[in-house]
Structures are given as C-alpha cells and as structure tokens.
Amino acid sequence: MAKFFIGIDGGGTSCRAALADADGRVLGKGRSGAANVLTDVDGAVRHIVEATSDAFRAADLDPSLLSEAAALCGLAGANVETTVATAQRKLPFAHCAIETDALIAAHGALADNDGAVAILGTGSVFAQKRGDQVRTIGGWGFVVGDQGAGAALGRSLLREALLAHDAVRAGSEATRRVLADFDNDPRRLSAFAQSSVPGDFARYAPLVFELAKSDDPVATLVLKTAAAEVDEALDVILVGEGDRLCLLGGIGWLFEPWLATRHSNRVKEPDSDALAGATRLAINRFSGRGHG
C-alpha cells in the first residue's frame, strides 16, 4: 500500500493537488496551471507535477517522494482515451488513475447522497450519482460540446459583436464593450478568435453575467440560450424525485437564477469540493479499504 495519497482536480484554468495520508488527513496542498488533457496533454502533465510538488513542499516533504505516491487525477478532457493513456505514461506516480473531473466533483459535492452535479467553468460536464456509480454526459470539449461553459458564453458574445458590427443584428452595451477591446476593429477580433484557446474566450463570460443582470438584450440572449442548454442536460441526469443538484465550477452558481424552476428549486450547497472527492477516491482505490 502506498504511504501517500494524492487527489488532483485539474480543469481548464487551474490544477489543484492535495496530499493525504492513509487516514485521510490532508498534509499539504498545491496549485498550478490548467490541466485539460484534451487540449494540452503535456501542459496538463507538467501542471499536475508542479501542483503535487507544491503539496509535498507545503507538508515539509521532499517532492521526490511523489514517485512513491498513489494519485487519482480528476481531469477535464479525460473522457478521450488516447490522451488519458498518454498522460498516464508521463506521470511519475507509483500508482495513478485518471478519471473525469465530473467523477471527483460528484463524489465531493454529494458525498454519500444521490443526485446530480453541473460543472460549469471554462468547459462543462454533467454527472448523475447513484450510490458509488457515476454517469456523465457532455464534456466533449470546446469544439463540439461544453454547453453552458464559460468559453462557449464568451465565443457567443464575440460572435454577436461581429454580427452587430456588420449590422446583421442589433448591438448593445455588451457588443460595444467587446468591440472596444479590439479598438473597434473586427479584423483584430477575428484574429484573436482564430488563435485563442478556450480560456481566452472564457474571460468574457463574467461580462455576459454582469450585463444580463442589467437587462442588456445581447447578454441576456446569450445567457438564456446557454441556460436552456444546461436545462436540457439537467433533464437527463435529474431523474430521481428527491435528487439534489449542485452547481459547481467557476460560473456554476451564477446560472441558478437563469435555470428553469424545475431545476433551480433543487439546488443545494455541495458537501465538499472536487479536490476532496479526488482525495477520498484516491485513498479508497489504492488503500484497499473501499470502493471508488
């Protein structure tokens, strides 16, 4: 049995690590950059190692000991097998499992309860938990998925700004502020979009929420469209009459007032976070004490 257990919560913006002993006592934590294995597997591996090394140092332990640790990594983009296999080969842990960020989030937020989670950050994924079993939907990445995600909100707003510039649709304060970021030059906006990663688009998500509260018509349209897509996913995973719903991720809680009542009235505070879920699953899986 491993002496140290590591939980990893890796998303499109940052990676967090927790180092624990076999009794579940957290010894140290660390943080680094994005750890989405679908968009950047080498960057994800580098940031996982950096965050874990920081956790060892926070515990006054030599980071070289991570080669003797067992790790469970809950990562964005982990539902694509080829990238998972590549990351596992490159990670230095004695034992390592890579799971989706939805799995660790569901176990952290719901603990021993049944229910569902919607993880809405730079990307998005949804999960239903029944006992120890977790079923996920979504999480297919920025190009073909990530409904309700910050990156999708930002991309939609930039698209509306270009449509307003071309007089195809009416503009608003939201589109004016976006265009102003690019000196009112649509060519610069287009060039930005061609070279950007999801996190670049996601930086515009807070503006959508901010101006939608003021009834900006474009921001409201973008947000209502995204909320309708989130509702569609929740209709699939919220099947039990008493199921609780936890809204997670950097912008998850901001969606609550925009969701259909059938969903918003089920929203509960999470028991814990995804990092705690990953740490608990690491101990359960590699200590032989439980399931996970």
SS (H, E, C) the chain: CCCEEEEEEECCCCEEEEEECCCCCEEEEEEECCCECCCCHHHHHHHHHHHHHHHHHHCCCCHHHHHHEEEEEEEECCCCHHHHHHHHHHCCCCEEEEEEHHHHHHHHHHCCCCEEEEEECCCEEEEEEECCEEEEEECCCCCCCCCCCHHHHHHHHHHHHHHHHCCCCCCCHHHHHHHHHCCCCHHHHHHHHHHCCHHHHHCCHHHHHHHHCCCCHHHHHHHHHHHHHHHHHHHHHCCCCCCEEEEECCCHHHHHHHCCHHHHCCECCCCCCHHHHHHHHHHHHHHCCCCC
Q: What mean pLDDT value characterizes the chain? A: 93
Does residue 139 lie within any of the structural domains?
no
Task: Using pLDDT thresholds of 50, 70 and 90, give the confidence band for residue 1.
Answer: low
Assess whether 91 and 169 both reside in one domain: no
**Does the pLDDT of residue 237 top 90, yes or no?**
yes
Give pLDDT, residue 13. Answer: 80
What is the structure's pLDDT at 257?
97
Statement to judge: residues 260 and 275 lie in one domain? no
Check whether residue 103 and residue 177 sit in a common domain. Answer: no
> Going by DSSP bridges, is the β-strand pair 69-75/4-10 parallel, antiparallel, or unpaired?
parallel
157 and 180 housed in the same domain: yes
Pairing label, strands 133-138, 4-10: unpaired
Radius of gyration from C-alpha coordinates of the chain: 20
Per-residue pLDDT tens over the stretch 35-51: 988 888 999 999 999 99
Question: What mean pLDDT do residues 229-241 have?
Answer: 91
CATH of the domain at 73: 3.30.420.40
Looking at the structure, tell me whether residues 164 and 256 fall in a common domain: yes
Residue 121 lies in a domain: no
The better pLDDT of the pair 59, 84 is held by 59
> CB of 146 within 8 A of CB of 157?
no
pLDDT tens sequence across 16-38: 999 999 888 999 999 999 898 88
Q: Is residue 253 located within the same domain as residue 186?
A: yes
Q: What is the pLDDT of residue 22?
A: 87
| Mean local confidence (pLDDT), 75-97 | 87
Model pLDDT, residue 292: 53
Q: Kindly report, residue by residue over 146-173, the tens digit of the pLDDT.
A: 999 999 999 999 999 999 999 999 999 9
pLDDT band at 226 (very low <50, low <70, confident <90, very high): very high
Token pair of 289, please?
């004490």
User: Based on the domain organization, do 242 and 279 belong to the same domain?
Assistant: no
Quick one: which of 243, 7, 188, 250 has its CA closest to 108? 7
pLDDT at 290: 53
The stretch 131-145 carries a mean pLDDT of 87
Identify whether 142 is part of a domain.
no
Q: Please check whether residue 130 lies inside any domain of the structure.
A: no
Looking at the fold, whether 174 and 258 belong to one and the same domain comes out as yes
- Entry field: residues in the chain: 292
Residue 229 inside a domain? The answer is: yes
Residue 84: is its pLDDT beyond 90? no
Query: Does a structural domain hold residue 119?
Result: no
Give residue 193's domain range. Answer: 150-264
Is residue 180 one of the residues assigned to a domain? yes
Model confidence at 94, in pLDDT bands (50, 70, 90)? Answer: very high
Q: Determine how many CB atoms are found less than 10 A away from the CB of residue 290.
A: 11
pLDDT at 74 over 60: yes
Q: Please report the pLDDT score of residue 76 as a whole number.
A: 80
Domain count along the chain: 2
Amino acid, res. 254: L
Quickly state the pLDDT bin for 289 (edges 50, 70, 90): low
281 and 256 together in one domain: no
The CA dihedral of 52, 53, 54, 55, to the nearest 10 degrees, is 50
Whether residue 66 is found in the same domain as residue 14: yes
Q: What angle do CA 53, 54, 59 make, to 5 degrees?
A: 100
Same-domain pairing of 184 and 209:
yes
Residue 14 lies inside a defined structural domain of this protein? yes
Predicted pLDDT of residue 102: 87
279, 20 in Cβ contact below 8 A?
Answer: yes
